[in-house]
Structure 1
């Protein structure tokens, strides 16, 4: 391509649509110059985008948010290479400490709205941190061309004047690539064997009962619990009623949580824990779940990139982030295809070693299991102790085995510990911290501020001071883990983005799955599942080994992209099989 052509080719194409569905495209070149708005009729939008994608230099599409634009493109066989998701980027930039001037972004409150999800789907709870913008029924961000263009200008200005534009650009590109992956995975669907799922349920629960009744094995366990409590009418499904029943039986507990019950010795506890486990399975992934979420051999969950404040994904339907390991055999490749599964060993500790530049910690995990390497260093005696110590360091544990072992890590890995200790200190003072690429933590809420203010008054009581100290420590634990979990999420996004491009570059192969979702996913390998540090690719059998190689190469590229020539490696456990493993 000639220099003149490169100068004229759009670097970005801002896409908006009016209420009547008519679209407008505004091209923005690398030098910042803008072309005249180009109207595109609704019936020609997919063709227009497809033609641009086939050009020698396809643009990065700038749109309100991927769920509002991309599904209809995929449904007609159009896949885009790159995008800039304005909603996700706005959420990052308005909070990032790297952005020096945030006033314009903070004033654009319409861009703080929820993603374009189905209104009836309520976001599921995150395992560690709250869901951002909970409530999918809230209004979505604007989609009109004027609003999109104005917001893009605000974002470009914020990036260019920031303390580190390159890091922010990389973060926004990775976040936006993740948005594309999430929509593509839902469109493709996870190959799902409903018959195997049913068999697994019957094996654990008994035959499917009629009319919403409880399965036989749950009923038998319930009878066993009630007999041990000597309370034939005891309710096991209502936590308050169950708690009262336990106390009537002389079992001194403050809650019905699994962790507290496990500490109790009583004949009712063991069957009660089994009952609760089966109840969770029935509620979250039972027969009703199959009826709702599996169609034509595909399970299509709704992912929410950036749904957690650390940058981890959340789910707004289908529970992809909570599928139990025991149901993994239901993930089954189509005939002539294979599942290529990969997960990263000890991702967060390795990210901590890379961020902090702790060479001793990097050496402990170089070419081997990190926890075993810590044992070999002489800091702890067993792999279990090493795991407790590392998790305690990242989550701020001060009691039990973790609290006892963390001081040893400070001696062996001082740089890594300084990084998380410093993050905790900032949080305890009510400050914010940032990930490697610049995603920043939220400030404490009003309740936290009020608690600290009360403790600082001359009239403060010991109880006020104790509450303030506890709240400060809790927020310090949050910021301690934020920098690690958030940077691990960035590494995973870089891994996904790189793998997505490598898979798209592979030649098509035959035969196509009978349940393929359209020409975008026919004949070629594609991502179907992602969970924090794990991916699954559905691939034609003859390409499975090439896909496995691409998965490994993408992980290596992600490490270099974020951390340069770091001594930290990110080893993968890669498996190629017809079914996903439950191990």
Structure 2
């Protein structure tokens, strides 16, 4: 496979063929405006991997020109995971402008041009960084695993850029209709919608506080306590435990106020244009490898507004999510055959009940969540001994990760993404517990246990993110092979959240897309876990509106 390194130089682009170890070869200089046609020609001439500083700085302009690339190496993302991985030699990644690569941030919006003013990426040497990364991968005893992770991370960057560029189909008129039905007509700036104003009046009347501002938690708490209610905060689950006429209107006010703030008319004006919701997706935005997003709260779209996500005429949405991803990943990582056997059932928790480990599905779920998140008290604590006896390899893996975290050690995912050191975060946690806790004291122990709970979950959540990246990478290419034309004319990804994808597809290809979604999930399982018998069953729905997927 050819590798082509791209870098900016003045107003031009320099494209150099390079060897697998990063050694540059013959170079071509061309004006930036000529790059899309040149890239398209190289893509059409055979397999090529583009090497660039950061996908967010190169790919949007290519997509705007109608050019799609199949593979890349994103030096920013790959460098970040290698520098944190305990499987890579940090000395091989040091020196030169390495600090600049550590500090480099993705571009999250604005002009997609290749040459913005004062871009810190232009002060970096991509050829030197490629050589460092290639040396680290070659020297690692686990270079195959790290190489797969680097390739999946970079492929995720391409998918994220395409999703950002294509946008999620969104009916602004339907969204506005939903808001009107829930909140009443859109009010003038600075005023509450009619339904919220009515509920505010009911809250004031129930508390006999005519001047109460229900948007102020402190004011609401004072009014509740003045009314004689034994509450220490205004959280919904606190209010649900008390009986008082104020509770129903106050809970409804809080629910609708959250909707207005997060996805109201201002959100609609800001984030929906040309029939698309257009957030920016950021692979590797969370330390576990999960994605983050910039703008519009893309990773927490509430169910109340999902009916506005409607496929174009003649198109469908294929919505798929994997059942109980993290417990299945734990079974694969630990090679725990008994837990994998339970996972052969579509419902892993029901499989645990069938095996006689616990009596009810609820107990199974509580026990597994306790294992993943460190629940040692109450019902989850009561379940843990049973799970440890039946699934010793799985429970042993997360327990070992927790003990390592408590010692301040780095833990790693299956493919080698490393956890952050406690460092400043641990110090901040200690500071939150009181002033200068004594080493070995109770507060210090609490902080260590808290970090142990983080590392316990890190290894599983991070490996789940790796499975999802492999799923996404394979699915992206499968979708491209189904259709013809540019990205938005073929079936294409429009949404991704941890264990869920949404594909926008011509309606006549929807059933084939559903099949490819399932095939890609099976491929991801084989890539990570080889021949270990582990199922990743999907719930797949072909719908017109995202809300219809259930």
TM-score band by shorter chain is over 0.9
Asked if the contact 1:16/1:143 (under 8 Å) is kept, the reply is no
TM-score (normalizing by structure 2) = 0.93
**Among 536, 551, 559, the residue aligned to 2:517:** 551
- Partners in 2 of 1:203 and 1:65 — Cα distance? 43
Give matches, 1:456-467, under 5 Å: 465-467=441-443
**Among 260, 269, 279, the residue aligned to 1:301:** 279
**2:65 is the counterpart of 1:76:** yes
Higher helix share: 2
1:403 to 1:201, Cα distance in 2 relative to 1, 3 A: farther
Aligned length: 541
- Partners in 1 of 2:288 and 2:358 — Cα distance? 30
- Partners in 1 of 2:342 and 2:118 — Cα distance? 47
Query: How much has 1:71 moved relative to structure 2?
Result: 0.5
**Among 57, 60, 76, the residue aligned to 1:87:** 76
Residue 527 (structure 1) aligns with = 493
Residue 537 (structure 1) aligns with = 503
Helix, strand or coil at the partner of 1:207: coil
TM-score (normalizing by structure 1) = 0.88
Residue 5 (structure 1) aligns with = none
Moved more, 339-348 or 104-113: 104-113
Residue 46 (structure 1) aligns with = 36
1:399 to 1:263, Cα distance in 2 relative to 1, 3 A: farther
| Structure 1: gaps (5+ residues) | 1-9, 122-138, 509-518
**Among 253, 261, 264, the residue aligned to 1:275:** 253
Query: How much has 1:447 moved relative to structure 2?
Result: 6.2
- Partners in 2 of 1:306 and 1:463 — Cα distance? 34
Query: How much has 1:111 moved relative to structure 2?
Result: 0.8
**2:452 is the counterpart of 1:476:** yes
**Among 159, 164, 179, the residue aligned to 1:186:** 164
- Partners in 1 of 2:263 and 2:437 — Cα distance? 49
- Partners in 2 of 1:341 and 1:149 — Cα distance? 40
**Among 509, 532, 548, the residue aligned to 1:566:** 532
**Among 94, 106, 110, the residue aligned to 2:100:** 110
Asked if the contact 2:199/2:250 (under 8 Å) is kept, the reply is yes
Q: What is the CA RMSD across the aligned residues, in angstroms?
A: 2.5
Residue 114 (structure 2) aligns with = none
Helix, strand or coil at the partner of 1:39: strand
Helix, strand or coil at the partner of 2:16: strand
| Structure 2: gaps (5+ residues) | 112-116
Residue 256 (structure 1) aligns with = 234
Residue 133 (structure 1) aligns with = none
Deviations along 1:142-166, whole A, 9 cap, x unmatched? 5449611111111111111123000
1:114 to 1:273, Cα distance in 2 relative to 1, 3 A: farther
1:48 to 1:176, Cα distance in 2 relative to 1, 3 A: same
- Partners in 2 of 1:97 and 1:232 — Cα distance? 60
**2:181 is the counterpart of 1:215:** no
- Partners in 2 of 1:452 and 1:276 — Cα distance? 33
Residue 34 (structure 1) aligns with = 24
Helix, strand or coil at the partner of 1:170: helix
- Partners in 2 of 1:318 and 1:302 — Cα distance? 9
Query: How much has 1:416 moved relative to structure 2?
Result: 0.7
Give matches, 1:109-508, under 5 Å: 109-118=99-108, 142-144=120-122, 147-446=125-424, 448=426, 465-508=441-484
